[in-house]
Amino acid sequence: MGDETIKPYFEKITINSKVNTNESHERINELQVKVDKRCSVYTTFEAAGVELVPNWTKA
């Protein structure tokens, strides 16, 4: 069933997060690293070898 040439999993996921804060971009990057390490969804995809592209910016 279906097309066997199509991979049934994600190859790359881009995460665009806008943070409403007065903190510096460096502090936003620090938060991103901490959240990425603790997020079960992020770590599951990471463990599966999915390319993750986090993009955190100020709102």
Concatenated DSSP letters for 16-51? EEEE--SS-HHHHHHHHHHHHHH-HHHHHHHHTT-E
What's the angle, vertex CA 16, arms to CA 29 and CA 13, rounded to 5? Answer: 105
The verdict on residue 36 lying in a domain is: yes
The verdict on residue 2 lying in a domain is: no
Q: What pLDDT does 2 receive?
A: 82
Report the number of distinct structural domains present in the chain.
Answer: 1
The verdict on residue 3 lying in a domain is: no
Residues 5-57 have pLDDT tens digits of 888 889 999 999 999 999 999 999 999 999 999 999 999 999 999 999 999 99
- Give me the domain span that covers residue 17: 12-58
The verdict on residue 31 lying in a domain is: yes
The verdict on residue 6 lying in a domain is: no
The verdict on residue 35 lying in a domain is: yes
Taking alpha carbons only, the member of 32, 27, 2 closest to residue 16 is 32
What is the DSSP secondary structure assignment for residue 3, as one 8-state letter? -
The verdict on residue 34 lying in a domain is: yes
